[in-house]
């Protein structure tokens, strides 16, 4: 069974959610700045790869966790994936999509543009970390709700 | 791709492993999935010809089809199988064709579907009229004028579609 955390660029919020889900980031406190450096795929998604699912790991319930960037096309991309799986006879209850796009601090968005679009990583990445730390409680709530629901289903 | 069939007989549980031949899926995509994407796919498969495309009965049915399925972005519409046994579909992706392509190819790998997917971009053939027709189709008051514009658009596009369907698109442009 596969779980996809998706956001706009697939580089920050979805990666953070997937990392909390898999235990790469703590679920009881806001992580320090240096802890984000150890997170795989954080601020790494190339703009040309938006749409491609990236594998992050397997959780304790056996769900494969992926991250995806969908720009602002989730209303098109998600039906197209489900439709494609349906055509190939794959049951839709094997796939779950979770929107990781919470209301972000504008600094995060600005940092994302600087880092991913303009290539100014050394300037943009600390800004995204600062913004993600501000929004961390909201991301934590998403992951806790997802895990609670997964446990109920399994 | 290997398929395993399990059946129970008097001698116990038996398993048969068989190999499924990998197929090619050809997906015509554009802003809408029902205008030039569908026309090209229909010409490709051979369920439509130039004469049939000009008939009033076809235009009426096709207009209703567009009203029903036009706003369903992201849904694959099965059109048929071509002479080379490729499954032909059309899909509306708005302006996000590249994201949809990467997502579907990603699913192909994740679920080890094994089929080859080829995409044909028909976005440039739509023009402005389908957007206007689609907006008008939401209001029954504009039915007559939208049907008139629709008929004009189909007549104008059919010849262009036929040229492309006969040419390189039939080979399946890989994007």
What is the overall mean pLDDT for chain A?
A: 87
pLDDT tens digits, A28-73: 888 888 888 788 888 888 888 899 999 999 989 889 999 999 988 8
3-state secondary structure of A69: strand
What percentage of chain A carries pLDDT values higher than 90? Answer: 36
Q: Which two tokens stand for residue B28?
A: 């015509």
Would the CB atoms of B99 and A85 count as touching at under 8 Å? Answer: no
Query: By CA distance, what is B113's nearest residue in A?
Result: A88
Cβ-based contacts of A77 with chain B (< 8 Å) = 74, 96, 99-100, 103
pLDDT at A1 over 90: no
Better pLDDT: B166 or A84: A84
Summarize chain B as % helix, strand, coil (round to 5): 50, 25, 30
The residue ranges of chain B whose pLDDT is under 70 are 1-22, 164-175
Domain ranges of chain B: 22-171
d(CA A21, CA A37): 17
Whose tokens are 């071509």? That residue is: B82
What ipTM score was computed for the predicted complex, to two decimals? Answer: 0.89
Among A55, A73, A80, A81, the strongest candidate for a mutation testing the B interface, having the largest count of B CBs within 10 A, is: A80
pLDDT score at B175: 46
pLDDT at A87 over 70: yes
Whose tokens are 């089809």? That residue is: B65
Better pLDDT: A117 or B27: B27
pLDDT at A106 over 70: yes
pLDDT at A103 over 90: no
- Whether B40 contacts B126, CB under 8 Å: no
Q: How far is A51 from chain B (nearest CA, A)?
A: 5
Whose tokens are 């080979």? That residue is: B171
d(CA B114, CA B108): 7
Is B101 within 8 Å of chain A by CB? yes
Domain ranges of chain A: 2-103+136-153
pLDDT tens digits, B122-135: 888 888 888 898 88
pLDDT score at A53: 93
Q: Which two tokens stand for residue B2?
A: 């290997």
């Amino acid at each position: 069974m596969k779980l996809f955390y998706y956001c706009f660029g697939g580089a920050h919020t979805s990666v953070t959610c997937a990392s909390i889900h898999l235990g790469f980031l703590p679920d009881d406190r806001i992580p320090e700045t240096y802890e984000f450096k150890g997170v795989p795929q954080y601020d790494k998604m190339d703009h040309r790869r938006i749409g491609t699912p990236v594998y992050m790991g397997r959780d304790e319930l056996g769900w494969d966790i992926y991250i995806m960037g969908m720009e602002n096309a989730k209303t098109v991309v998600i039906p197209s994936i489900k439709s494609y799986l349906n055509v190939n006879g794959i049951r839709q209850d094997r796939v779950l999509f979770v929107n990781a796009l919470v209301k972000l601090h504008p600094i995060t968005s600005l940092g994302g543009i600087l880092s991913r679009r303009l290539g100014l990583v050394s300037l943009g990445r600390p800004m995204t970390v600062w913004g993600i730390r501000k929004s961390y409680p909201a991301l934590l709530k998403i992951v806790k709700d997802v895990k609670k629901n997964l446990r109920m289903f399994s | 791709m290997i398929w395993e069939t399990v059946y129970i007989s008097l001698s116990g549980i038996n398993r048969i492993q068989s190999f499924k031949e990998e197929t090619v899926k050809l997906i015509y995509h554009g802003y809408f999935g029902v205008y030039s994407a569908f026309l090209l796919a229909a010409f490709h498969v051979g369920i439509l010809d130039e004469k049939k495309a000009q008939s009033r009965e076809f235009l009426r049915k096709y207009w209703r089809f567009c009203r029903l399925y036009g706003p369903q972005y992201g849904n694959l519409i099965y059109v048929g199988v071509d002479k080379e046994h490729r499954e032909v579909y059309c899909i509306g992706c708005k302006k996000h064709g590249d994201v949809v392509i990467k997502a579907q190819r990603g699913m192909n790998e994740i679920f080890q579907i094994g089929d080859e997917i080829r995409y044909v971009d028909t976005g440039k053939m739509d023009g402005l009229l389908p957007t206007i027709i689609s907006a008008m189709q939401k209001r029954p008051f504009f039915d007559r004028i939208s049907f008139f514009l629709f008929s004009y658009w189909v007549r104008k596009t059919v010849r262009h579609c036929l040229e492309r369907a006969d040419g390189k698109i039939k080979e399946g442009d890989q994007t």
